[in-house]
């Protein structure tokens, strides 16, 4: 019985992680709108290696480009970007995030925002 429960819990880890990542992307999208963010969105740190977060954010921000940093920490590149915003640095140290296709995502986004504000 314990083995069956453990197997069931292992099956749920990936979907739960994906849902958590998509929730994070949804909150990030909302915060970016509140800030009036324009131009490329650069994802750094551990989130840059989270495909569900990056692709979900790219879907929510479309057509605004979302890029994942290749930098392990993002601190040095982030500081350089704040000091000077050279396009070459952004393009060389990041990769474009492909938007995930989730049916009903746009409608869900609007419903969530109506209740979040």
Q: Which residues pair with 68 in a beta bridge?
A: 43, 95
| Residue that wins the pLDDT comparison between 2 and 98 | 98
pLDDT score, position 69: 87
What does the pLDDT read at residue 1?
A: 38
DSSP designation for 85 = -
Domains contained in the chain, number: 1
Give me the pLDDT at residue 87, please: 54
Long-range contacts of 36-39 (CB under 8 A, 24+ apart): 37/64, 38/64, 39/64, 39/65
CATH of the domain at 68: 3.30.420.40
So what's the pLDDT on residue 9? 41
What whole-number distance in Å separates Cα of residue 70 and Cα of residue 93? 6
**Helical (H) or strand (E) element with 15:** helix 2-35
Long-range contacts of 16-21 (CB under 8 A, 24+ apart): 17/52, 18/52, 21/50, 21/52, 21/53, 21/56
Residue 83: which domain range? Answer: 2-116
Tens-place pLDDT, residues 65-92: 999 988 777 676 667 667 766 554 555 6
pLDDT computed for residue 5 by the predictor? 39
Q: Is the per-residue pLDDT at 23 higher than 60?
A: yes
């Amino acid at each position: 019985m314990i083995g069956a429960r453990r197997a069931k819990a292992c099956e749920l880890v990936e979907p739960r992680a994906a849902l958590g990542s998509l929730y994070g992307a949804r909150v990030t999208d909302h915060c970016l709108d509140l800030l009036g963010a324009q131009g490329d969105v650069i994802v750094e740190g551990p989130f840059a290696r989270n495909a569900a977060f990056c692709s979900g954010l790219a879907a929510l921000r479309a057509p605004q480009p979302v890029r994942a940093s290749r930098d392990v920490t993002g601190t040095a590149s982030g500081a350089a970007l704040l000091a000077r915003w050279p396009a070459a640095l952004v393009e060389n140290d990041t990769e474009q995030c492909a938007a995930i296709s989730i049916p009903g995502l746009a409608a869900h986004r609007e419903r969530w925002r109506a209740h979040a504000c």
